[in-house]
Amino acid sequence: MNETANNESSDWDKWILENQAKWLLYARQQTRSEEDAQDVLQEAVLSVWKDLQKQALPLLPHPGTVFATIRFRAINLARGRDRREQREQNYMYLEHITYIDHSDRHNDDREVLLSALKTLSKEQTEVITLKIWGELTFQQIADICQCSINTIAARYRLGLIKLQKKLKNLKK
């Protein structure tokens, strides 16, 4: 049993070494940076390996499988970054409010922001507070709230949209 595992590991190592240069070249063409290319390649090989482990197939996959996985992972990475950059552009006005200073009771920005936060649902307020002032990741917030990361991201996004509208109305 141990000898079989060593042979499979050796086959995988050899297969990766034979193909990694061409996969990395392709990944570089599909991504925006060298680091992204390396990350996408690593994720693609790992994904293909995990899929084969689930299916318990003893054969090595066709190298084209990794190319396809690289392509889809690169597309997803770019889309995710584009969405994040767009969200950041949409909410840049919140950048100057980085901390609510409770010692200064006459701070107009603080009062306006607290007033706007009170108009949100409890869940949206919690997520925005944890994300912006708690400096937590969506995954950490999801663990705290015991919900999916998608739910947390949706609450954050919708809460920021409501805050944006409320703050624009209050400034007029």
Spell out the residues 6+ positions from residue 157 whose beta carbon is closer than 8 angstroms to its own: 87
How far, in whole angstroms, is CA 140 from its chain's centroid?
12
**What tokens appear for 35 in the block?**
């680091």
State the average pLDDT over residues 76-105. Answer: 71
Buried b (16+ CB within 10 A) or exposed e, 52-73: beeeeeeebeeeebbbebbbeb
| Whether residue 117 has pLDDT greater than 70 | yes
- Residue 101 or residue 69, greater confidence: 69
| Whether residue 93 has pLDDT greater than 80 | no
Alpha helices in the chain (DSSP H): 2-30, 34-55, 63-90, 108-118, 122-128, 138-145, 149-171
- Categorise residue 148: left if φ over 0, alpha if ψ from -120 to 50, beta otherwise: beta
State the average pLDDT over residues 16-45. Answer: 93
What domains can you pick out in the chain, each with its CATH number? Answer: 2-89 (no CATH), 92-171 (1.10.10.10)
What does pTM read for this prediction? 0.51
